[in-house]
Amino acid sequence: MKTTMKDIAELAGVSRTTVSRVLSGNYKKIRISSKTAEKVLRISRAQDFQPDDLAKSLQSRKTKTIGVIVPDITNPFFAEIARSAEKYLDAKNYLMILCNTDEQLDTEAKCINLLLAKRVEGMIICPSGFEDGNFARLNKKEFPFVFIDRYVRGLNCSYVVSDNYNGAKQAVQYFIERGHRRIGFLGGREDSSSNRDRKKGYYDALSENKIKYFPELELNLGFDRESGEKGMELFLKLKNKPTAVFAANNFLGLGAVLSIRKNGLNIPADISLLEFDETDLSRYGEPAITSVNQNAKNIGEKAAEIILKIIGGGKEEKVIIPVKMVERSSIQILSVKE
């Protein structure tokens, strides 16, 4: 039979409250004698007593757990964010509960409800949409949370995101400097802040270089591999195809590569490709794909750092993490034609 706090109290000849205070380390503040404390601790060790974590958390209202919600845990980018956040939290003696939404708003709501039921102290969330419905109640309750990768318009709260606008603008500028003028934008969800910011970078790079925008060269289908394949198929069916395509995330880039190969075409001889973030195929495939790299490790660590600060009474923070262009061999240099 499991030893209880009541058993320890009876063996030590003290109250359960005294046992609780000794085991929580609070006895010095309330003048419990060292002799009594040593007796309680000695009996606890002899009985191999393990305090009930749930009971402790109910008393202290602290569970030392943080919830992390991501849209696609199979994406290496989100996996690395979760991994680095967990490492940071572990070093601070916090545990992490990971939830996956598959970009579904109803699943996101269920994840939030689950984590609240588990009494997590805060959440790190990559939102699946731009509406504040699932987060307004957290804001109203002043429940600590931090957005990662994306943010929600209208909510004044902490976030840690990549420099999506400048990264996309740099990518399109890279194409332009190599002679490309018909540049396709293969985007994700229209309602995602990261997609909006990357799309704005695309628009502004074209505009600043006085290059005409063609609506048929913009697609916003989703952030998964299947959307990348479908989008590239549509581009390749155009009478006047793009000479280059900017894929707004790594899985879209992967789908684009698969579609190009399926159609018997070659990168970059037949079409050039650049993607935001990368996969192993980007790095080690033939050809390797030029990419705008995000610092997922930094995002995860910073988000974990901020959520613990907020829990401790700190103020909100809005952090934009720099990105880095990695040149590989997926872009053909064309003769410049004005």
Instruction: Check if 5-59 and 60-162+300-318 are the same fold.
Output: no
Average pLDDT over residues 1-22: 83
Asked if the model's pLDDT at residue 59 lies above 80, the reply is no
**60 vs 133, which has greater pLDDT?**
133
Residue 50 confidence (pLDDT): 67
Average pLDDT, the chain: 90
Q: Give the per-residue pLDDT at 35.
A: 86
Q: What is the pLDDT of residue 137?
A: 80
Give residue for tokens 């995000």.
294
Give the N- to C-terminal CA distance of the chain in Å, as an integer: 84
Q: Tell me, what's the pLDDT at 175?
A: 97
* Phi-psi group of 219: left, alpha or beta (phi > 0 → left; psi -120 to 50 → alpha; rest → beta): beta
Alpha-carbon dihedral 203, 204, 206, 211, rounded to 10 degrees: 110
Q: What average pLDDT does range 126-150 have in this prediction? A: 85
Task: Identify whether the C-beta of residue 128 lies closer than 8 Å to the C-beta of residue 100.
Answer: no
Q: Distance (Å, rounded) from C-alpha 162 to C-alpha 314?
A: 22
Count helices and strands (H / E) in the chain: 13, 12
Least confident of 1-10, 103-112, 159-168, 189-198: 1-10
As a whole number, mean pLDDT of residues 93-114 equals 93
Class of domain 164-295: alpha beta
Q: Tens of pLDDT along 260-319? A: 999 999 999 999 999 999 877 788 888 999 999 999 999 999 999 999 999 999 999 999
Percentage of residues in the chain with pLDDT exceeding 90?
Answer: 68
State how far the Cα of 302 lies from the Cα of 292, in Å rounded to an integer. Answer: 20
pLDDT of residue 337: 47
Domain ranges of the chain: 5-59, 60-162+300-318, 164-295
Cα distance between residue 79 and residue 251, in whole Å: 13
Report pLDDT digits (tens) over 214-250. 999 999 999 999 999 999 999 999 999 999 999 999 9
Q: Is 99 helix (H, G, I), strand (E, B) or coil?
A: strand
Rounded-to-integer distance, Cα 294 and Cα 299, Å: 9
C-beta of residue 56 within 8 angstroms of C-beta of residue 41: no
Mean pLDDT computed over 116-142: 86
Q: Report the distance separating Cα 67 and Cα 239, nearest Å.
A: 48
CATH no., domain 5-59: 1.10.260.40
CATH assignment, 60-162+300-318: 3.40.50.2300
Render pLDDT for 160-205 as a digit per residue (tens, 0 to 9).
999 999 999 999 999 999 999 999 999 998 888 999 999 999 999 9
Per the CB < 8 A criterion, the answer to whether 186 and 245 are in contact is yes
Q: In angstroms, rounded to a whole number, what is the distance separating the alpha carbons of residues 280 and 193?
A: 25
Q: Are 218 and 247 in contact (CB under 8 A)?
A: no
